[in-house]
């Protein structure tokens, strides 16, 4: 594990995450995680969109 991801917890399916990236997509629900490609599928109900987000946390999301 690299030093950047060691200080940030990783999300798993069913977790809520707060997007801290410049896109500011609000609160999202992690639907699934694909560890082999380092991506997770997240549903953002407030804006009505789902999107793929990088799974390894470099400070771009916070697990709620």
Instruction: Give tens-digit pLDDT for 26-40.
Output: 899 999 999 999 999
Helix (H) or strand (E) holding 16: strand 16-19
Lowest mean pLDDT among 21-25, 54-58, 60-64: 21-25
**pLDDT value of position 4:** 59
Domain that includes residue 10, residue range: 3-63
Instruction: Decide if pLDDT at 24 tops 60.
Output: yes
CATH label of the domain that carries residue 23: 2.30.30
Could you give the number of structural domains in the chain? 1
In the prediction, which pLDDT does 37 show?
97
* Contact present, 25 and 51 (Cβ < 8 Å): yes
| Tens-digit pLDDT profile for residues 50-59 | 999 999 998 8
């Amino acid at each position: 594990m690299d030093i950047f991801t060691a200080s940030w917890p990783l999300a798993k399916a069913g977790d809520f995450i707060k997007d801290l990236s410049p896109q500011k997509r609000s609160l999202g629900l992690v639907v699934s995680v694909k560890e082999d490609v380092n991506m997770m599928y997240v549903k953002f109900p407030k804006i009505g969109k789902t999107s793929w987000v990088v799974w390894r946390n470099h400070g771009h999301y916070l697990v709620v």
